């Protein structure tokens, strides 16, 4: 069974469109994350969600919005897509509160290409 899954794996779209990437984890974790990896391979945190509450929100444009229908899902919605949004987006999950233990499980990534 896949621990953290993302759909779609590849997403090609035009500038200005609105798109969503879905993420699901079956690990029973209470915290989920979205990371962006750009063309230079830098991996940066975008959001983390704990118990349906946004607990961290890095300086990302408000065109990006995480939505969590339940503890097992954290979807990423992107409005008005721009060329610079092209990247690989990774979802991850972990169990918050285990002091000193920060093992995050990552999904396979979604490669977004904006034309």
Which residues sit at the interface with other proteins, rule CB under 8 A?
A: 4, 31, 33, 41-45, 48, 50, 55-56, 58, 90, 92, 94, 96-109
In three-state secondary structure terms, 64 is strand
Provide the minimum distance between the beta carbon of 44 and other proteins in the complex, in angstroms, as a whole number. 7
Residue nearer to other proteins on the CB measure, 8 or 16? 8
Name which of 78, 84, 81, 83 is nearest 66 in CA terms. Answer: 78
* Signed CA dihedral, 45, 88, 49, 107: sign only: negative
Residue nearer to other proteins on the CB measure, 62 or 98? 98
Residue nearer to other proteins on the CB measure, 31 or 68? 31
């Amino acid at each position: 069974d896949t621990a953290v899954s993302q759909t779609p794996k590849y997403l090609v779209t035009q500038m200005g469109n609105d798109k969503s990437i879905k993420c699901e984890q079956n690990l029973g974790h209470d915290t989920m994350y979205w990371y962006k990896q750009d063309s230079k391979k830098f991996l940066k945190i975008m959001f983390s969600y704990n118990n349906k509450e946004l607990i961290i929100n890095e300086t990302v444009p408000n065109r990006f919005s995480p939505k969590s229908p339940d503890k097992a899902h954290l979807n990423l919605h992107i409005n008005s897509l721009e060329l610079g949004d092209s990247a690989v987006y990774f979802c991850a999950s972990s169990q918050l509160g285990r002091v000193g233990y920060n093992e995050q499980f990552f999904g396979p990534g979604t490669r977004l290409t904006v034309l």
